[in-house]
Structure 1
Amino acid sequence: MLQKITQSFIIYIIGIITLTLGISLTIQSHLGASPFDALLVGLYRTFGLSIGSWEIVVGFTIVMINAVAMKTKPELFAMLTSLVTGLGIDSWLFIQGSLLSPENWLEQSVLLLFGIVFSGLGIAIYLESSFAPNPMDRSMVILTDKTGLSFGKSRAIISIVLVIVALFFQGDVGIGTLLNALCTGVIIQALRPYIVSFKQKYVVRKIKAS
């Protein structure tokens, strides 16, 4: 049992590290981050602190809102996801600060492309861990349950609201925001079968062998 939890945690951490690499690359591209990350950049530009710090603050706030909506206690593991993601974003941005400085549209586009791919890959990996929920994903599930809308429509509504709020705070909204919204789900869907296969082949088999 302990080994299974450890394996799940390792997959979770690898997924978050990959995801935050993708987030930082899209931010560094200056072509527009995902709706949620665009809001974080806007809060950073308006109030200071770091982008990762706002990930933690906003994430914790969403966890509390979710708890009120579900009339349950706040999900501590969801807070863990926000904390680890925030630390990951700031760490990658610090590392990339002296290494990446796109000087033209082509270089920005390359960073955006890799950012979207790594973000999708990271989400696909950490979803397989089933270790800790993402506060925003939980909000989409709650909205779906409360309204009867499809998950896709709930996701679209929340994304639109995030973009509007991000624009109010001068967030990082651009062509990258639209591409993130359109492509990330497709990438996750395309990569998950390979990740599931890898997990079954190496992780689950190793647990059973021990």
Structure 2
Amino acid sequence: MVHNKFIFHPLTVRYSVFMLGLAVMGFGIAMMIEANVGVAPWDTLHIGLQKTFGLTIGMWSQIMGACIIIASYVIGKIKPTVGMFLNMIFFGLFIDLFMWLKWVPIGETILERVVLFAAGLLIYTFGTGMYISPRLGAGPRDSFMLALHERMGWGIGKVRIGIECTVTLFGFLLGGPVSVGTVVTALAIGPLIKQFIPLWDRMMAKPYGKAPVTNLAE
């Protein structure tokens, strides 16, 4: 009975869904990388850093995450949360794990690669809805966006576009992949995540013990 109470305790459920969401996100990113038709802006930077300096894509995700956490505190006085550190550490670990396990099929034809990329994008955004729904804190990159928004007074949309354009440029200069998939990701990722957040809010309403929160999807 005590064991069941621990498993179904609201906090246990929230952290479990949060971690599972990071794993799903990592698998989606691995699929998009293997598709080789372009990746998200931050992954362009991580791959560029890997090609230039070595280490793994996941390690560079962790290193950049740590730098961004520090920058967010310096710029916007945003204090790190447990969720932020878990995101920084485990998201990179999951990317490397799935790349190492080679669970992701490698498409040989253009059609297979496009299908793999599209599936990876859907899986990634589905996992993002999972990781957001427990409300354990924003990831390092989202916190950095908020820090710039508060410090500079710029709109969230402008800040996000500015950050993604900057990291894409640096990633490209370092040899990271920039292709059609990069543009598709930049345009589609927001609307897709908006579809999955309400879904996970409803699913997490019972563990939370409160009504679903849907305003983040607006």
Matched, 1:167 2:146: no
Specify which of 172, 182, 185 is matched with residue 190 of structure 2. Answer: 185
Q: Which amino acid aligns with 1:122?
A: G
Q: Deviations over 1:188-210 (max 9, x none)?
A: 1112222112222x5346xxxxx
Specify which of 200, 203, 206 is matched with residue 198 of structure 1. Answer: 203
CA distance in 2 between partners of 1:92 and 1:192 (Å): 24
Listed as ranges, the gaps of 5+ residues in structure 1 are 206-210
- Quick one: percent identity of the two aligned structures? 27
CA distance in 2 between partners of 1:37 and 1:65 (Å): 19
Listed as ranges, the gaps of 5+ residues in structure 2 are 1-5, 210-218
Matched, 1:7 2:8: no
Q: Is the 8 A contact 1:63 1:75 kept in 2?
A: no
Note the aligned Cα RMSD (angstroms).
Answer: 1.9
Matched, 1:153 2:158: yes
Q: 1:80 to 1:199 in 2, by over 3 A?
A: closer
Q: Which amino acid aligns with 1:68?
A: V
Structure 1 residue aligned with 2:44: 38
CA distance in 1 between partners of 2:92 and 2:123 (Å): 16
Q: TM-score, normalised by structure 1?
A: 0.90
Matched, 1:131 2:121: no
Shift of 1:71: 4.0
CA distance in 2 between partners of 1:129 and 1:35 (Å): 25
Q: Is the 8 A contact 2:38 2:178 kept in 1?
A: yes
Q: Is the 8 A contact 1:81 1:132 kept in 2?
A: no
Q: Which amino acid aligns with 2:156?
A: F
Aligned length: 203
Shift of 1:132: 3.6
Structure 2 residue aligned with 1:25: 31
CA distance in 2 between partners of 1:25 and 1:132 (Å): 26
User: Alignment partner of 2:175: what SS?
Assistant: coil
Q: Which amino acid aligns with 2:45?
A: L
Q: Which amino acid aligns with 2:179?
A: G
Q: What is the 5 A alignment of 1:93-108? A: 93-96=99-102, 100-108=105-113
